[in-house]
């Protein structure tokens, strides 16, 4: 470490889509813990950059990043009283360290149509029970998303579709199923 610190003082670590994985917060804490052990002794200046559309203000950061306990995936809702600027910067303190939030609220379309379908299953959270009970709901959500995408592709083939999914495994599964559907549709129409 001494050799590295004599050549490199500033280290930047970037973590993308941290809320898309139930272990994302724990990863962030472990990265921070790793660098903290070398900061004082070797003089490193480390910065962790978290890129995620769900992390938009200090309240969300405090709520989501304060604990490393594994939690089910969730969506954070907050009423926004501020004017959405194309680019905004906000400074605050988190765990006695300075933090800067940079929000980019830019979308290059003339029209944006958003359709929400909420799937809610309310159960008391217990780790073992969650792992068992969560599967049917996830499967139902995935089937509905695929059904909706197929409908849009069939009825409005020229429209752009944006599907917001944070679970990387479910996204990969969705892409595979849509590719199969597109190949089938292509063969059917030829």
7 shares a domain with 65: yes
99 shares a domain with 148: no
Q: Six-digit token pair at 44? A: 């490193």
Contact 42, 5 (CB under 8 A): yes
User: What pLDDT score was predicted for residue 189?
Assistant: 42
pLDDT at 149 over 80: yes
143 shares a domain with 84: no
91 shares a domain with 12: yes
Q: Six-digit token pair at 81? A: 């009283």
Mean pLDDT of 106-116: 64
Burial of 24 (0-12, 13-18, 19+ CB in 10 A): buried
Task: Supply the range of the domain harboring residue 50.
Answer: 2-104
pLDDT > 70: percent of the chain:
69
- Indicate the pLDDT class of residue 190, thresholds 50, 70 and 90: very low
Number of domains in the chain: 2
């Amino acid at each position: 470490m001494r050799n590295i610190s004599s050549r490199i003082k500033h280290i930047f670590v970037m973590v993308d889509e941290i809320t898309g994985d139930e272990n994302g917060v724990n990863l962030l804490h472990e990265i921070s813990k790793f660098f903290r052990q070398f900061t004082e002794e070797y003089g490193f200046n480390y910065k962790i950059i978290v890129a995620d559309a769900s992390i938009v203000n200090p309240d969300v950061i405090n709520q989501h990043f304060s604990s490393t306990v594994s939690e089910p995936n969730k969506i954070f809702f907050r009423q926004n009283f501020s004017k959405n600027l194309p680019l905004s910067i906000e400074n605050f303190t988190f765990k006695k360290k300075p933090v800067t939030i940079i929000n980019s609220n830019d979308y290059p379309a003339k029209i944006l149509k958003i359709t929400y379908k909420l799937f809610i299953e309310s159960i008391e959270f217990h780790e073992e029970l969650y792992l068992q009970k969560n599967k049917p709901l996830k499967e139902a959500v995935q089937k509905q998303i695929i059904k909706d995408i197929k409908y849009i592709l069939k009825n409005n083939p020229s429209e752009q579709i944006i599907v917001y999914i944070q679970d990387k495994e479910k996204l990969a599964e969705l892409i595979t199923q849509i590719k199969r559907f597109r190949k089938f549709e292509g063969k059917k129409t030829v």
